[in-house]
Amino acid sequence: MIYIICRTLGLVSGSYISAFVSKADPVIRNNIGLGILSQAGVAIGLSLIASNKLVELGYPELGSIIVTTVAATTVVFEIIGPLGARFAISRAGEIGKA
């Protein structure tokens, strides 16, 4: 749960701050964070690389924890991510425009 909360807060706040600093439109600034919550192949691949490096360094348990955490939360974010993106797109008024 801590990883899910921290990742969500980091993505939403980081994208908001970045959009604010770059003077993006308020519609983009207020909605971009929810649109980038999905997580899948890249995260799993990076966790496997990190796990292999940790095994080489003598920390196989830590590598297992990383892979397990990322794999488990990927399921959560693949459910929440598309819902968040749809909500953000709807809130931005972009659904139904051609």
Torsion on CA atoms 7, 70, 39, 1, rounded to nearest 10: -40
Provide the residue range defining the domain that includes 6: 2-91
Task: Give pTM, 2 decimals.
Answer: 0.71
The count of C-alpha atoms lying within 13 angstroms of the C-alpha of 13, restricted to the half-sphere facing its C-beta, is 6
Does 75 fall in a domain?
yes
Residue 40 has pLDDT above 90, yes or no: no
Domain annotation covers residue 38: yes
- Give, rounded to a whole angstrom, the gap between the first and last alpha carbons of the chain: 39
- Tell whether 86 is covered by a domain: yes
Answer yes or no: is 65 within a domain: yes
Residue 67's pLDDT band, with cuts at 50, 70 and 90, is very high
| 96 confidence band (pLDDT: 50, 70, 90) | confident
Q: CA-to-CA distance for 52 and 60, rounded, in angstroms?
A: 8
Tell whether 98 is covered by a domain: no
Report the domain count for the chain: 1
